[in-house]
Structure 1
Amino acid sequence: MATTSGTAAAAAGGGGGDGEPFVEVDPSGRFGRYQELLGAGSTKKVYRAFDQQQGREVAWNQVCLRKFMDNNHTIQSLQNEVQLLKNIRNKNTISIVANWTDKEGCKLNFITDMCTSGNLREYRRKHSRVSIKAIKKWARQILRGLEYLHKCQPCIMHRDLNCSNIFICGYSGVVKIGDFGCAREVGGDVGPDHLAHSMVGTPEYMAPELFEENYTEAVDIYSFGMCLLELVTMEIPYTECKTFLQIYNSVTSGVKPKAMDKVRNLEVRAFIEKCLVKQSDRPSATELLRDAFFNGLD
């Protein structure tokens, strides 16, 4: 289905008068896209948009499919992300509201929640004065999102959790896990029977077993530990490594990132280290949420 032109947006109730005009509306006329670009990656652009039915701002994700006509892996990844997002409903994960393909323009479009303050990496760097209590609140929300994903039937592994894939609404402090392009559903009950066998993710955040291509949802817990390390130090793990091979050698040999030396709070350091142990000893998201680390939070 082709998208409606910007000229028709006024007729849909969103582009006329003195208000900010829509440059595009969806086939139903419910969503209007503004010109403002919120972010852009290798596969998609994300624009600010408006849900006229609910009266709220949303994110309009747009992929130019022509760029990937000869890349079945990317197309599959995008389709996977859309399908997963359609089935996810949790306060701490990004949800999809609508999706459609503009066949005439050869574009895949999907509407998701909009986190007004961008990703957690950018937000943390913008606000250098953050208390440990605030970081704990962010961490707890990330774990709640992971707990939901890992308890889904079938279980959902994110497989690329890092601070650029976690988003925040600064006015409310609500944190949401997003970017599910590398996520995978795995059948069976939650636990060690959830095995996957492909190497994906961001090297600095990948658990050792991911490199060995034989892993469970516990890889997300390892990545969560690295995210917490970044939130505390404002440093991406393994910045001392200059190549993928150096990161690989450090991770697979059990060498912790030098950023760990910057964590002065012993409680925080101990909690991070719980996430970085070998796969069989790594606690689940549910177990971590029960940890005394979160005692006293409102």
Structure 2
Amino acid sequence: MMRMKVRKMGVGLMQSSTQPFLAQSRTALHINQDCSYRMPSAIPDPPEDDEEPFVEVDPTGRFGRYSDLLGSGAVKKVYRAFDQREGIDVAWNQVRLRNFSSDPSVIIRLHSEIELLKTLKHDNIIVLYHFWKDVDKNTLNFITEACESNLREYRKKHRHVSIKAIKKWSRQILKGLDYLHTHEPCIIHRDLNCSNIFINGNVGKVKIGDLGLATIVGKSHAAHSLLGTPEYMAPELYEENYTELVDIYSFGMCLLEMDTLEIPYSECDNLAKIYKKVTSGVMPQAMKKVSDPELKAFIERCIGQPRMRPSASQLLLDSFLSDGIDLDENDL
């Protein structure tokens, strides 16, 4: 209706060749009146001494931490933070070092490992921007890419997810693991679980995070430290003699949780019971809830014996994952 009004007014006024500007002015005025147009109110400039409400700032002054806690675990806490140089939100990860205070070599190794992790660049790996040790607070601080949600939270929020979606997430996780495992030198994550796999729900982009416990291994690809989340730890990890294939086992447990919404071995009420079942080869009860036979067989391949366990690159070629690949997914 407004468009018709404008046309009629314009035609009537433009018939007078002596008032073309007046006609346009009246037309514009009429549009403004019909649309109830209002000029935006001016935003006053903040006072010069007005500062961001940071709780603390990194030694370079680039990153500022807010008090908002995004998440916490046994090893670290994650806070909302801001990158003042790039103007983007980031995550401030803080690790308490008191558990390692008796062994300085561990601290040295952590520093060297994180320095390497800063160089990692892959679409399915969370970006690590900066790290430093706070001597006074005895903490190790990591600045990482900010993430919308971890896969555990996201899956609880969206309880009805198709096998197709789970396959998409799985391919992206495996691409990230393949990048880590084929890196020179090889990097083992060692603590892969659904709480440190992150997703951008708008585009379905999945990224592996929490690389603070990752370890770098030589040509033998063998490691010997007992670290990780018990429900997701491969049997050989408990024996402290393992390779990057422990990450494949953990991925299989993640896949189990993605499908069933149940943390593996949740039937166990203490770590000793989990240890006994894992080292004895007893499957978690959640496996009984997996209704898709192909998915179940795929998970069993991932959590099988180390000598039979496929690599990330081999799993990416598995017919289970290659079925129904969207052409646009490779462009994510």
Q: Deviations over 1:26-46 (max 9, x none)?
A: 333322322322122334322
The residue identity in structure 2 corresponding to 1:166 is I
The residue identity in structure 1 corresponding to 2:88 is R
Q: Which residue of 2 is the match for residue 180 of structure 1?
A: 211
Aligned pair count reads: 279
Q: Is the 8 A contact 2:92 2:141 kept in 1?
A: yes
Q: Is the 8 A contact 1:81 1:180 kept in 2?
A: no
Q: Which residue of 2 is the match for residue 56 of structure 1?
A: 88
Counterpart CA distance in 1 for 2:191 and 2:96 is 23
Counterpart CA distance in 2 for 1:156 and 1:71 is 25
Q: How does 1:149-228 map to 2 (within 5 A)?
A: 149-188=180-219, 193-228=220-255
Counterpart CA distance in 1 for 2:139 and 2:268 is 38
Check if 1:83 corresponds to 2:111.
no
The residue identity in structure 2 corresponding to 1:95 is V
Q: Is the 8 A contact 1:145 1:176 kept in 2?
A: yes
Counterpart CA distance in 1 for 2:315 and 2:294 is 13
Instruction: Label 1:111 to 1:122 Cα distance change in 2 as closer, same or farther (>3 A).
Output: same
The residue identity in structure 2 corresponding to 1:277 is G
Q: Deviations over 1:174-222 (max 9, x none)?
A: 222122233211111xxxx322233322222121222222221111111
Check if 1:262 corresponds to 2:289.
yes
Q: Is the 8 A contact 1:59 1:111 kept in 2?
A: yes
Structure 1: where are the runs of 5+ without partners?
1-9
Counterpart CA distance in 2 for 1:125 and 1:206 is 22
Check if 1:297 corresponds to 2:325.
yes
Q: Which residue of 1 is the match for residue 41 of structure 2?
A: none
Instruction: Label 1:195 to 1:258 Cα distance change in 2 as closer, same or farther (>3 A).
Output: same
SS in structure 2 of the partner of residue 60 of structure 1: strand
Identical aligned residues as a percent: 61
Q: Which residue of 2 is the match for residue 111 of structure 1?
A: 143
- Give 1 or 2 for the bigger CA radius of gyration: 2
Q: Is the 8 A contact 2:164 2:324 kept in 1?
A: no
Q: Which residue of 2 is the match for residue 249 of structure 1?
A: 276
Check if 1:276 corresponds to 2:303.
yes
Q: Which has the higher helix share?
A: 2
Q: Which region of structure 1 is more displaced relative to structure 2, 28-37 or 122-131?
A: 28-37
TM-superposed deviation, 1:68? 5.0
Q: What TM-score, normalized by structure 2, do the two folds share?
A: 0.75
Q: Which has the higher contact order (CA 8 A, sep 6+)?
A: 1
Q: What TM-score, normalized by structure 1, do the two folds share?
A: 0.83
The residue identity in structure 2 corresponding to 1:172 is V
Q: Which region of structure 1 is more displaced relative to structure 2, 93-102 or 68-77?
A: 68-77
RMSD of Structure 2 on Structure 1 (CA): 2.6
Instruction: Label 1:242 to 1:194 Cα distance change in 2 as closer, same or farther (>3 A).
Output: same
The residue identity in structure 2 corresponding to 1:39 is G
